[in-house]
Amino acid sequence: MKQFFVDSIGRMDLIVWVLVLLFFCGSSLIFGGDVQLSFIGASGIIVEMLIIGISVEIIIDALKKQKGIGTITGFITNGPEAICLIVGLAAGDILFAASTPLGSNFMNPLLLFIAAIICATTGNVIKCKPFYSLSTITLTALLAAGFFLIPSDWYLWWTILSLAVTVPLFLLRPDEPHVQQLETSKSDAEKWLIAAIIILIGAGYFLDSVVSFAAVHSKAPKGVIGFFVLATLTSWPEFKSCLALLNRGKILAAILNITVSNITNIWLATTGVAYYLLSR
């Protein structure tokens, strides 16, 4: 477990942690917020990000022998979005319920690109299945944007179109190569796999609440909060997954982690819309 703790912390993590503290505490000083509570909130965000990083390292190390690791992690990292969707539906607000999964479709590709730059694999990422990657990212982003631009009377048609586009995209995803492993005994990571998945989903869900706490007490401008904080930090599981996969040389897996995540976000939103339409 100590090794996963060490592997999950890199220079990028330390830089982001410092930026988080500077952002919230600095905003509190500039806009007249509560510096002490802003520091507590920012510290909470850092703890959440650390927990997410450790969980991702354990999950990917446990699944390294599995074919289709990119697809698997794409599903797993969408756990927080699924929980937020359920919370929104319980509140009867379909726009709020769908905003978290659909909003992630814009930030996920950017985080993949940033991860590729950090891992010095930008060229390999661009050359790996470019037509499928670009098509999937573009179409899922357009579907996500379209939902917020249409009246509620068109929700059914949006659901049908979304499924008609994303189901083929998922079925046509490239196959990941399977690496043969000789060892048969369970590793430490495999023993912690289920716990790591549960912790990742829980940490991802509560990250939004912690970010909101820090945002309120720092009195940062809402526009800046929406882009820099909510969009970026709530996609931290996908970002850490991309970093872990790229560092292991799994280029296609990292790409599929993002494309499958985007597709799953659309499916989550369509499920929420279907429930909303049937319950009216």
Going from the C-alpha of 157 to that of each of 6, 89, 154, 191, the distances in angstroms are 48, 20, 5, 44
Nearest to 24 by CA among 211, 234, 236: 211
Is residue 2 within 8 A of residue 17, CB to CB? The reply is: no
Q: How far apart are CA 151 and CA 15, in angstroms?
A: 42
SS3 of residue 88 by DSSP: helix
Is residue 28 within 8 A of residue 35, CB to CB? The reply is: yes
Q: Which amino acid is at 145?
A: A
Q: Report which of residues 238 and 253 the model is more confident about.
A: 253
The pLDDT, as a whole number, for residue 6 is 47
Average pLDDT over residues 6-11: 56
Q: How is the chain split into domains, by residue range?
A: 2-177+187-278
Q: How far apart are CA 36 and CA 44, in angstroms?
A: 12
The pLDDT, as a whole number, for residue 186 is 58
Q: How confident is residue 225, by pLDDT bands cut at 50, 70 and 90?
A: low
The pLDDT, as a whole number, for residue 271 is 93
Residue-wise pLDDT tens digits, 106-131:
889 998 999 999 899 999 999 999 99
Asked if residue 233 has pLDDT above 70, the reply is no
Average pLDDT over residues 255-268: 94
Q: How far apart are CA 189 and CA 205, in angstroms?
A: 23
Beta-strand ranges (E) seen in the chain are: none
Residue-wise pLDDT tens digits, 144-159:
999 989 998 999 999 9
Going from the C-alpha of 278 to that of each of 156, 157, 275, the distances in angstroms are 10, 14, 5
